[in-house]
Amino acid sequence: MNILLKSAKIINAQNSELHLKKRDILIKNGIIDTIATKIEAPKGVKTVALKNLHVSLGWFDSSVSFGEPGFEERETISNGLHTAALSGFTDVVLNPNTHPLADSSSDIVFLKNASLDFASNLYPLGCMTMGAEGKDLAELYDMRNAGAVGFYDFKSPITNSNLLKIALQYVQNFDGLLYSQPLDVNIAGKAEVHEGITSTKLGLKGIPAMAEELQIVRDLFILEYTGGKLHIPTISTANAVKLIADAKKKGLDVSCSVAIHNLYFTDELLEEFDSSYKVYPPLRTKKDTKALIKALNDGLIDFVTTDHIPLNVELKAVEFDNATHGAIGLESAFGLLHQIYDLEKCIELLTQGRERYHIKENKFVEGNKASLTLFDPDLEYVFDKEKIRSTSKNSMVLGQTLKGKVYGIYNNNQLVLET
């Protein structure tokens, strides 16, 4: 598809000649052909002129769940990738959160084939252990060859320390990336929310910050012993940041992410017993959110994620104790993050992280592939169900005033715009 973006303000700090400049951008057959102050539309080229149009390199999300196969009522791959595109994401890493779980090369091949020909790219994770049961290693090498970008027993901690040790040693043979969920299950028990003043007041069992931090300490000790590459997903406490920062100073190959909602919301919202706010890791305190925000500013946390988890209504519209953890986050990601950071920092955070997964990073220059996100950063609006394109509607952001509207993306020679 050939298109001409008119009067687009470019947000790309890596290119000082274009950064914060308004330009016309001509794209031919998926390649950036010309960037100039003014371009007349050639014959047969679609002109895209949108109010307050801004454009950046395509956004990246390291943690999304859909439902297919097995939970198509939550989300299909097709609708999930369309939602990602309308939310500004050209590349998403898919969690093994399906039935059956992705623990073999054939499962990875299915996911790759099902995601062909879409504007947004899908990069699957495979389970680290068979059936995510934490007992026997899955077919890690075969899954890597089939296209898996990492290995993760989704939201399930690896309780067997020796198994993690062996896995870290094994994946070094092919530069594999392992995930370890930061939760000591013996400390957490059957708790549902953050342990603190709010949980005590409400009579809810709490997960202490220590449960996250003890697991991280264990994982980092093992990593120091074995070497290898470790990713700690969705950290949520102030001390977790310090532990990982210290490990990086030692030279350990460890990365971490944080869910955008853990930067914005706190456990005080649980006073209404609204299961929309029941997520894992749990919403923590204001002290924690401040520490996480600062850590992103300082580069101590590697990237943000939506931690998008669609759930059908019967899993959320129940008593708080019985509700399933999880919330969708793709559609509200930019508007929520832009409430916390200025525009340039927002785009920096939304575009970083690919190198951890050996995903090629594009550059905003003529002759390169066009992988772009289109948006208006200044539009303020109330986020309601009409803004949700996911099949599931389990959002914790409903009713919030957000800043920044995504128009869509251009990627893989396809233009996807909100209609």
307 is catalytic: yes
Predicted pLDDT of residue 235? 98
Predicted pLDDT of residue 51? 96
Contacts of residue 199, defined as CB under 8 A and 6 or more positions apart, other chains included, come to 191, 193, 205, 206, 267, 270
Predicted pLDDT of residue 355? 97
Look over the chain and give the mean of its residue pLDDT values, rounded to a whole number.
Answer: 97
pLDDT tier at 388, thresholds 50, 70, 90? very high
What are the pLDDT digits (tens) for 141-179?
999 999 999 999 999 999 999 999 999 999 999 999 999
Contact 4, 41 (CB under 8 A): yes
- The 3-state DSSP class for residue 327 equals strand
Rounded average pLDDT over 181-196 = 95
Locate the DSSP E strands across 43-144.
46-48, 54-57, 59-64, 89-94, 121-124
Rounded average pLDDT over 56-62 = 98
pLDDT tier at 33, thresholds 50, 70, 90? very high
Cα–chain center distance at 359: 14
Q: How long a stretch of residues is the chain?
A: 419
Predicted pLDDT of residue 419? 72
In the set 107, 153, 302, 307, the catalytic residue is 307
pLDDT tier at 300, thresholds 50, 70, 90? very high
- CA-based nearest residue to 62, from 413, 397, 409, 353: 353
- The 3-state DSSP class for residue 66 equals coil
Rounded average pLDDT over 346-350 = 98
Phi, psi of 195 (to 5 degrees): -80, 120
What are the pLDDT digits (tens) for 20-31?
999 999 999 999
Rounded average pLDDT over 268-281 = 95
pLDDT at 78 over 80: yes
Q: Would the pTM count as exceeding 0.75?
A: yes
Contacts of residue 201, defined as CB under 8 A and 6 or more positions apart, other chains included, come to 271
Give the CATH class of 58-357: alpha beta
pLDDT at 201 over 90: yes
What's the half-sphere exposure (Cβ side, CA atoms, 13 Å) at 414?
15
Query: CATH code for 3-55+367-379+401-417?
Result: 2.30.40.10
pLDDT at 59 over 80: yes
What are the pLDDT digits (tens) for 204-253?
999 999 999 999 999 999 999 999 999 999 999 999 999 999 999 999 99
pLDDT tier at 195, thresholds 50, 70, 90? very high
DSSP state of 280: S
Sheet containing strand 59-64, strands side by side = 59-64, 89-94, 121-124
Structural domain spans, the chain: 3-55+367-379+401-417, 58-357
Residue 122: CB atoms within 10 A of its CB come to: 21
What's the half-sphere exposure (Cβ side, CA atoms, 13 Å) at 99?
6
- CA-based nearest residue to 350, from 325, 311, 377: 377
Which residue's structure tokens are 């320390």? 161
Rounded average pLDDT over 353-363 = 95
How far lies 73's CA from each of 67, 70, 310, 322, in Å? 7, 8, 9, 20
Predicted pLDDT of residue 294? 97
Rounded average pLDDT over 98-123 = 97
